[in-house]
A and B are shown apart, each in its own frame.
Chain A
Amino acid sequence: MIDSRVLVRATGLTVRFGSTVVVDSVSLSLAAGECLAIVGESGSGKTLTARALLGLLPDGAALSADELLIDGVDVRRASEADWRRIRGARVGLVSQDALVSLDPLRRVGREVAEVLEIHGDPASGRRMPRAALDETVTTQLGRVAMPEPEERARQYPHELSGGLRQRALIASALAGEPGVLIADEPTTALDVTVQAQVLDLLSGLRDDGLGIIVISHDLAVVSGIADRVAVMRSGRIVEEGATGEVLSNPQHPYTRMLLAAAPRLPEAGADRVAARRRSPRIEITPGGLDTAAGGLLDQGESTPVLRATGLGRDFRRPDGGVRSAVDDVSFDVLPAAAIGIVGESGSGKTTLARLLLGFDAPDRGSVTLDGRPWSGITEGRRRSRRGDIQYISQDPLGSFDPRYTVSRIVAEGLRGGSRLSSRTRATRIRTLLDSVGLDASLAGRRPHELSGGQRQRVAIARALASEPRILVCDEPVSALDVSIQATIIDLLAGLRRDLGVALVFVSHDLAVVATLCDDVLVMRDGRVVERGAIGEVFAHPQHPFTKALVDAVPRMP
């Protein structure tokens, strides 16, 4: 720590909506050059705590505190006008989605300049002349390591990549030279390699004396940057301490649960079986066939459930050129095998999943399902076989008709559902709900009345209704809290073990893939750049992109 000046001190910070207490006597302090992480799952009150420090609580929220000092100023009675002088000049905010937070009609440079126009020269507080303004904008963009800052200042947000947008947002938050930066899930929307860069940037700023409060759901992300961690649950801080201490020696059961739930990458040299204890694949491989060494390529004695051969799919670009979203992808999925497809956004993972499902037709190559052609046939001929391959999406809510009840949703998946007697159908639905760990009492609910985890379970139950041989899952747990994520992954692993369902698991999250799958394909720009058994690929990545991907995964000490 360069400076031990206390920038934020809150004691007994409480936020109420009517009689409901959503933040319950939270106490925290932040010194200059220090980074405090507030970690919790959705609904823990972490975001409201951060918003209270910015005077940005939503309507109807009532704030009370024994002490709330920002830069030595008591802000408990601050008016909206007072807050306007504090925000931007003393406390800066960086939020999750830079594309939403930046005005799409304004050049990036304007976004930064606006702060300077409102608050004046950070050094003197006086109005800045035009020339000095432009120069300061460039300096600020340079400070967040924006490449070619002068040129970027003239661009619009949509012309920048996600990582550069996040940098621009940080630059605008820092333009007024605030002592404190509050970053609410600053890297959640970013690819893992970009996330690593943004975290590096934040660490650098902290080392230069900025006080940072990071809000995150992800312990691993904050472990590399935070000096102290505060774990929140149901509006309270349940545990707080030095990062290393909390992670290596958690005191509160909730912290322990969070740590245990977080999926991890197998470490180099670590025992592979231990790393993948959730998927005992040797037991379920038919005929005792050992496919562990090369399941992806080994065509073995058993017919693959799904085989992709030289798959390619092109899209026309607006400029008239052609972009191959998927190019020359081949692989086999054996019965009851689990294959992970990882890559960053735009790598072609989702297009590949849609080709496998027959939602989209390949321009080159072919897909076979159970040894019979699956691509290149009419939808009419595919329809009766669709039950064999099922789909789990990232957004279960969107995949349900909002008017349908849970039982009607699941019933739609039953083969010959309309021909079954209503009693048989009810029994089948109850069995299916039971197999995904849902109580039968939920059968009459509508999707919007369910939690995120319950919705994904309903989606899985519907997919299982047709007794599929293979499930294609596209980021099925990305939108869920860590603890819920772990239960859904366990459920999928269990289905694979008990029902022998093969899995194709598309994800940007290497750790989740490592927990669930045997083999992995690493995709970049539509091509498979590396493939093999999970432990091998992640412990000894060969391709530079895989190395970068693996290195960028935040790890807990």
Chain B
Amino acid sequence: MRGRFAARAGLVVAALFLVAVTLMAVAPGLFTPLDPLATDTDRVLQPPGWGHPFGTDQTGRDMFARVVHGASYSLGVGAGATAAALVIGVVAGTLVGLAPRIVDGVAMRGVEILLAFPEFLIALFAIAVLGPGPVNVATAVGVAALPAYIRVARAETLVVRRSGYVEAARGLGVHPLRVAVSHVVPNTLRPLGVIATIGIGTTIVAAAGLSFLGLGPQDPTPEWGLLLSGGRNLLAQAWWVAFFPGVLITGTVVSATVVGRRLRRAGEGRRS
């Protein structure tokens, strides 16, 4: 019973954290009136305290405002890239799953080659081709996540395709296209949606990682990965500059994973 209570409490904390971060992304003004870009040379590298809960950086910008405003970049890239990967993955995976064996075989070997490389490496390749920039970071991260979605979508399609209800629809004389749209895609979408929730976390880390390397948005944009990178050289004098962006990245990823896993369990329970 106590274990279950702890798990439930963890779930509530994670969900609240995600809600808070989402609010930061949508309406940063609710959290802080300060401008994340406003420098103040009189108040350089202030430790956390009244007025500056997260301290200030080397040009006197309020770290709390920068972290709050950074949420929209990080979440936007994470959610956008995941959504794009999900949509493209479902379409491609379903088509591959329904295609003749030879097409399926060739496509899946290609996907497996991509899966053999670490996602982050693929994202780096993509950036190398596309060049740096915030939009390109989202694209690169999405491309890196795509093979996994294609693979899962295809596997789900194969299961649904052999299911009794697809055969029943065929027996009723329903056109295959209609079967794909009304039975196959909706039933593959449910497990994929759950995976995507967990995937948002991974994507945020990957995007922050690219920014950290200086391949994403450039200073003074308040992006979490970039903030972390900016604080790296100051760790000895001003730990807070790197610490708070790091906490937000970690917290968001852990929360997304906790909520995603819970959704997956609920989904499995429903299916059996």
Contact = CB atoms under 8 A, between A and B. Distances in A.
Contacts of B101: none
A387 B167 CA distance: 14
Contacts, number: 52
A383 interface: yes
A385 interface: yes
Nearest to B169: A412
Contacts of A143: none
Interface string A17-51: 00000000000000000000000000000000000
Contacts of A412: 169, 172, 174
A256 to B, nearest CB: 36
Contact of B172 (A387, A393, A395, A398): A387
Contacts of B164: 393, 395, 398-400
B170 interface: yes
Contacts of A384: 173
B100 interface: no
A395 B186 CA distance: 22
Interface size class of B (residues with CB under 8 A): 10 to 19
Contact of B187 (A390, A398, A402, A462): A402
Contacts of B171: 357, 359, 386, 390-391
Contact of B165 (A359, A401, A413): A401
A466 interface: yes
A403 B187 contact: yes
Interface string B170-184: 111111000000110
A367 to B, nearest CB: 15
B183 A401 contact: yes
Nearest to A384: B173
B173 A391 contact: no
Contacts of A383: 173, 175
Q: Provide the main secondary structure of the chain B interface.
A: helix
A42 to B, nearest CB: 18
Nearest to A396: B164
A462 B172 contact: yes
Given A386-B173, A466-B173, A400 B187 contact: no
A384 B174 CA distance: 9
B167 A359 contact: yes
B4 interface: no
A348 B186 CA distance: 34
A387 B171 CA distance: 8
B272 to A, nearest CB: 10
A400 B173 contact: no
Interface in A460-481: 462, 465-466
Nearest to B271: A402
B40 to A, nearest CB: 56
B163 A413 contact: no
Contact of A401 (B170, B175, B187): B187
Interface in A496-530: none
B172 A413 contact: yes
Most chain A beta-carbon neighbours within 10 Å: one of B165, B175, B182: B165
A382 B175 CA distance: 11
Interface string A408-421: 00001101000000
A385 B186 contact: no
Nearest to A400: B165
Most chain A beta-carbon neighbours within 10 Å: one of B164, B168, B169: B168
A330 B271 CA distance: 41
Contacts of A391: 168, 171
Contacts of B163: 398
Nearest to A354: B167
Most chain B beta-carbon neighbours within 10 Å: one of A387, A399, A401: A401
Contacts of A403: 186-187
A385 B173 contact: yes
A94 to B, nearest CB: 27
Contacts of B182: 401
B13 to A, nearest CB: 29
B165 A466 contact: no
A390 B270 CA distance: 29
A171 B168 CA distance: 42
A390 B172 CA distance: 7
B165 to A, nearest CB: 4
Contacts of A386: 170-173
A391 B172 CA distance: 9
B110 to A, nearest CB: 29
Contacts of B271: 402
A401 B168 CA distance: 9
Most chain B beta-carbon neighbours within 10 Å: one of A359, A385, A386, A399: A399
A398 B165 contact: yes
A481 B132 CA distance: 67
A359 B162 CA distance: 12
Interface string B244-272: 00000000000000000000000000110
Contacts of B167: 359, 399
Contacts of A395: 164
Nearest to B166: A401
A8 B175 CA distance: 61
Interface string A148-167: 00000000000000000000
A374 to B, nearest CB: 13
Interface string B10-30: 000000000000000000000
Q: Which 6 A-B pairs have the closest CB atoms?
A: A386-B173, A398-B164, A399-B164, A399-B168, A401-B165, A383-B173
10 contacts: A359-B167, A386-B170, A399-B168, A400-B164, A400-B168, A402-B187, A403-B187, A462-B172, A465-B172, A466-B173
Given A359-B171, A393-B164, A465-B172, 10 more contacts: A359-B170, A382-B173, A384-B173, A386-B172, A399-B165, A401-B183, A412-B172, A415-B173, A462-B168, A462-B172
